[in-house]
Amino acid sequence: MSKVVTPSGAPNQKTVLPSGIRVISEHIPSVHSITLGVWIWSGSRFERESQHGVAHFLEHMLFKGTARRDAFEIARTIESQGGYLNAFTGKELNCYFVRVLKDADEVSIDLLADILQNSVFDPIETEKEKGVVIDEINGMEDTPEELVLDTFTGIVWQPHTLSRSILGTPDAVASLNPDSLREYLDSHYVSDRVYVIATGAVDHDRLVRLVDKAFSLPKSSKGVAFSSVERPDRQIAVVSKDISQTHVCLGGVGIPYNDTRKYALYVLNTVLGGGMTSRLFQSIREQAGLAYAIYSDLDFYHDTGLVSVYAGTDADDVPLVLEEVYKECNRLCSEPISDVELKDAKSQLTGGLLLSLESTSNIMNRLARGEIYLDQYEPTEDSIAA
């Protein structure tokens, strides 16, 4: 068992268990709760064609019963402690997390280990949950802002697995069964793909003992395999819906999480469309009155990224909105950002980061992504300096 203590007196500690599970914690003396997450390299980009939607569906099914607990008892285990239990699936990662009072750390780790290792995938529960997930997929059709982003990522990364919807399709979900769930879990929920991250009133040595006792996931010798992402040709996709607004998303491939240029990109994004003082908001909403919602956004992944601009506008105004977006993007390339804009963008980013760290959940997320994507802890002051 190896232990790494973050330098400079920081409260972060890291231990790598013999199994390969990485345990990382940050002690925050001012709180009485713990936010604890189990992160796994098991997102939708790792699905085979025949498994589309399995990563997200598996996340649902891990709450439906183990050999020791049924679905009600899984929820009751945390809620009876006054805590909160949830999970999410992304393109690359799954996360199962709780927020509980510090005295509930042992039962929380026991529960998370139980659902990850001992879920039974009852056929009746599997069929019932298919209906729930298919309703979730159909619900996206009624949420145009989500649908347009899903369509956008679909053409940016096509035909790579990153292009596919995390939720899957109704037909793909309907084809899943307990065997396909078990196969995906056994292939991806392995110890050297797992990170246990805790923040708050956490004792690191106790956390390590509890995780070591509760988890007995198999170890894989393959590591995480990432298929290469090619830069796509320019494409346009149009989805016709009987709604009053037109929702537009445009952009393209960005940079990966570990690219140090991301700090410059953060600043550029903030200037372009990162808030109410941004160029897009001021020109398109405030001055021209062409859109209620207008912003730019960034996503970062292991080996690629995404840069996007979103607008919700009247169908007749789409050409004018696009013209303004292009104008502002071109102006970023041709004219230096003013000293005032640069200073304000840096202050906005710095303030947003510091305010976000008043939440133990946000601290847990930041700690996790630093470990997963950078293999190190990145002190807040280093991010601000960068």
SS3 for the chain, per residue?
Answer: CEEEECCCCCCEEEEECCCCCEEEEEECCCCCEEEEEEEEECCHHHCCHHHCCHHHHHHHHCCCEECCCEHHHHHHHHHCCCCEEEEEECCCEEEEEEEEEHHHHHHHHHHHHHHHHHECCCHHHHHHHHHHHHHHHHHHCCCHHHHHHHHHHHHHCCCCHHHCCCCCCHHHHHCCCHHHHHHHHHHHCCHHHEEEEEEECCCHHHHHHHHHHHCCCCCCCCCCCCCCCCCCCCCCCCCCCCCCEEEEEEEEECCCCCCCCHHHHHHHHHHHHCCCCCHHHHHHHHHCCCEEEEEEEEEECCCCEEEEEEEEEEHHHHHHHHHHHHHHHHHHHHCCCCHHHHHHHHHHHHHHHHHHCCCHHHHHHHHHHHHHHHCCCCCHHHHHHC
Is position 230 annotated as part of the catalytic site? no
59, 92, 328, 371: the active-site residue: 59
Q: Which residues are catalytic?
A: 59
